[in-house]
Chain A
Amino acid sequence: MNSYYTWVTVSLCLLIILTRSLPFLLAGFMTERFNRLGKQLPAYIMLLLVIYEIDLGTIFHPPYALPAVLALFIVLLVHLMLKNTLISIICGTVTFILLNLYILPGSV
């Protein structure tokens, strides 16, 4: 077994157990502000992850991450219309793959 995989998986397992059991272990420390921070933070992180996945380095050179931006636009449209995670993912990914294959190659 791959040791990188083992370390990542075991650490994440412990991390999840710790984060999920925190309120059961120390209910007194969970202040309201901390609570709100934890609730709102993922929204910021998810957008950062989108940026990270597109890879900031690619937006400064042609094709300026256009396939990704266009595909994300499709995701936004489809998701606002249907609100179905799976369908939105499929539409976005298919758009991205097709754009890379036929219209703006060389950006994958």
Chain B
Amino acid sequence: MNKEEFRYALNVTSPTIFAYTPMGFVFGLLFTDAGYQWHLAPLMSALVYAGAVQFVALSMMMNHSTLLAIISATMFVALRNSFYGLALIDRFKQAPVLKRWFMIFGLVDASYAILTIVPKRNDDVAFCFYVTLFPYISWVGGTFLGAFLADYIPDIRGMYFVLTSFFAILVIEYYLMYKKIDALIVPIPAALLAYWFVPQYYLILAIILCVFYLYIKLRVTHE
């Protein structure tokens, strides 16, 4: 264990730890309130480790969506992570196999942001490993606490609005980041159109409509 890299990684990941622990807590709480045994929430966080994907899956599981619908909807959300690795292929190459796979599996928004901003360190493998490990522990640990304490926190009607607010905040954040006004408009007619055709599966149809729109747009504008 490299103490210097440990400390430096803890330092740069601390904002992430403060963000992931309470979000994990909320996930654990909502998941357990949805009627699942409490230990299943941290288990899911440990195995899946993808905030938005887990919240999407939870909201669809609450509506008893089919496995296929859940996978297709979350696939489009997870797709974003597929591109993170591009910037880090060479950097992760020096790590031993197990560590490398953990770092690839744990490449979330936060670790990606940190690793692309902080240049290579003396003991870079240790640094990359800790930068992956700390957010992972906060997410899983936060979920554990939320699920464990769920019984002591009253189940309030309307609590599920936490999910709605969370998704709405991501809409705002994406807008502030990319300033694409059509991302705030196109999904609305897409949802209405999809709802009109197939009310039961309108989410997935609306997603496909948006993928189609975005693909055409990128093709035409050569942006």
Contact = CB atoms under 8 A, between A and B. Distances in A.
A23 B70 CA distance: 23
A103 interface: no
B78 A19 contact: yes
Given A19-B81, A76-B172, A79-B169, A100 B47 contact: no
Contacts, number: 243
Given A42-B170, A43-B174, A51-B191, A89 B162 contact: yes
A70 B165 CA distance: 11
Size category, A interface: 35 or more
B165 A93 contact: yes
A62 interface: no
A61 interface: no
B218 interface: yes
Interface string A58-90: 000000000010011001100110000110110
A80 B172 contact: yes
Contact of A40 (B89, B172, B180): B180
26 contacts: A8-B61, A9-B44, A12-B50, A12-B71, A13-B47, A15-B53, A19-B79, A19-B81, A20-B82, A35-B83, A40-B183, A42-B77, A44-B186, A44-B187, A48-B191, A51-B187, A52-B203, A53-B160, A53-B163, A53-B164, A68-B161, A75-B165, A75-B168, A86-B19, A93-B165, A96-B165
Q: Which of A1, A47, A85 has the most chain B CB atoms inside 10 A of its CB? A: A47
Contacts of B84: 20, 23
A107 B165 CA distance: 17
Contact of B218 (A36, A56, A108): A36
Contacts of A40: 178, 180, 183, 214, 218
B197 interface: no
A93 B168 CA distance: 12
A50 B36 CA distance: 24
A51 B188 contact: yes
Interface size class of B (residues with CB under 8 A): 35 or more
A96 B175 CA distance: 23
A61 B49 CA distance: 38
Contact of A48 (B57, B101, B187): B187
Given A35-B83, A56-B192, A50 B178 contact: no
Contacts of A108: 157-158
Interface string B68-101: 0011011111111111111001001000000001
Given A5-B36, A23-B86, A108-B157, A92 B164 contact: yes
Which 7 residue pairs spanning A and B have beta carbons closest together?
Answer: A23-B85, A43-B174, A92-B165, A43-B183, A96-B161, A53-B164, A44-B210
A15 B78 contact: yes
B180 A43 contact: yes
B178 A16 contact: no
Contact of B59 (A38, A44, A52): A52
